[in-house]
């Protein structure tokens, strides 16, 4: 099936992350249609906005924006009308609803969500911890971790750990290797949530084969043998069931979906700890 394309202009007075996520989440719902993204972050002056408007006029399309300065909003909207480019303030409906509910006026603060508050430093601390304790590099005190991921090679442990760290959770991961002794300290942890990651043998073999090809390595090993991989996964499942660790099958899950499931499990885990 042939694909069609449209220009999607994302104009932000901050990093543009909100717009990128909203735009992509919406655009992906339309099969056979792809967005050509034009991202304009940190647009906070009239001169910067005029440069953006020039690009919109050169490639008319859909315009999404998050600008809190009224003068910039008005200028962008007027330019979009002139060029025939539909535009929408992504945050305005949310601001209106909040204002109606809370009964207070908003204050224009570009990039306010990225202020250096306690939550920001918590994420940075979690990222540093996670990078330092990746792929079996367990911390001296495992109780410092919030989440511990275990699973055979190529079950997305590292990218999932990094995503969780960006949400403020100190995460470490441990690869399950055939015939390798399992760290006894992992069996004694109380504070961290231990989660097992699994996937189908076919999926693991496919990812491992691609990995070996990228490294120009030999493919004739147990590492990519379907039966050997199936046994690895079965042993991993038995280990998790024995210690009553929750299991997540990542075969058809994105990193974001896996992380979301872990975050839900972590909330329940913390509630149980508080109740003890």
Ligand-binding annotation for 34, yes or no, is: no
Could you read off the pLDDT tens digit of each residue along the chain, which spans 276 residues? 567 999 999 999 988 888 898 998 898 889 889 999 999 999 999 999 999 999 999 999 999 999 988 999 999 999 999 999 999 999 888 878 888 888 877 665 655 555 556 777 888 899 999 999 999 999 999 999 999 999 999 999 999 999 999 899 999 999 999 988 999 999 999 999 999 999 999 999 999 998 888 777 776 688 999 999 999 999 999 999 999 999 999 999 999 999 999 999 999 999 999 887
- For the chain, give every domain's residue range: 4-113, 118-275
Ligand-binding annotation for 152, yes or no, is: yes
Ligand-binding annotation for 155, yes or no, is: yes
Ligand-binding annotation for 242, yes or no, is: no
Q: How many CB atoms lie within 10 A of CB 90?
A: 16
Ligand-binding annotation for 221, yes or no, is: no
User: What is the DSSP code string of 5-53?
Assistant: EEEEEEEESS-SHHHHHHHHHHHTTSTTEEEEEEEE----SHHHHHHHH
pLDDT at 87: 96
Angle between helices 46-58 and 70-83 (to 10 degrees): 20
Question: Helix, strand or coil for residue 161?
Answer: helix
Domain 4-113, CATH: 3.40.50
- C-alpha torsion angle, residues 223, 224, 225, 231 (rounded to 10): 60
Ligand-binding annotation for 251, yes or no, is: no
Residues 145, 171: contact at Cβ < 8 Å? Answer: yes
pLDDT at 117: 63
Class level of CATH domain 118-275? alpha beta
177: left (phi over 0), alpha (psi -120 to 50) or beta: beta
Q: Tell me how far apart the alpha carbons of residues 12 and 48 are, in angstroms, rounded to a whole number.
A: 11
Tokens 């974001």 belong to residue: 256
* 4-113 against 118-275: fold identical: yes
Ligand-binding annotation for 153, yes or no, is: yes
* Partners of residue 248 on adjacent β-strands: 197
Ligand-binding annotation for 2, yes or no, is: no
């Amino acid at each position: 099936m042939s694909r069609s394309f449209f220009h999607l202009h994302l104009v932000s007075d901050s990093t543009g992350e909100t717009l990128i996520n909203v735009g992509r989440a919406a655009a992906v719902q339309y099969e056979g249609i792809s967005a050509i993204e034009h991202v304009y972050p940190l647009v906070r002056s009239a001169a910067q906005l005029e440069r953006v408007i020039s690009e919109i006029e050169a490639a008319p399309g859909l315009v999404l924006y998050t600008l809190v300065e009224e003068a910039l909003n008005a200028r962008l909207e007027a330019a979009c009308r002139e060029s025939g480019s539909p535009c929408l303030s992504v945050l305005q409906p949310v601001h209106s609803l909040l204002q109606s509910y809370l009964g207070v006026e908003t204050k224009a603060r570009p990039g306010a969500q990225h202020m250096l508050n306690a939550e920001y430093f918590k994420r940075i601390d979690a990222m540093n911890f996670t990078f330092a304790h990746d792929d079996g590099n367990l911390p001296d005190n495992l109780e410092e971790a919030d989440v511990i991921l275990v699973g055979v090679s190529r079950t997305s442990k590292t990218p999932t750990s990094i995503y969780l760290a960006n949400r403020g959770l100190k995460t470490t991961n441990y690869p399950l290797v055939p015939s390798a002794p399992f760290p006894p300290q992992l069996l004694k942890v109380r504070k961290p949530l231990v989660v097992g990651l699994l996937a189908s043998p076919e999926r693991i073999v496919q990812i491992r084969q691609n990995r070996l090809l990228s490294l120009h390595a030999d493919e004739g090993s147990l590492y990519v043998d379907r039966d050997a991989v199936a046994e690895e996964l079965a042993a991993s499942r038995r280990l998790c069931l024995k210690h009553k660790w929750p299991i997540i099958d990542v075969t058809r899950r994105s990193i974001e979906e896996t992380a979301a499931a872990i975050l839900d499990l972590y909330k329940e885990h913390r509630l149980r700890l508080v109740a003890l």
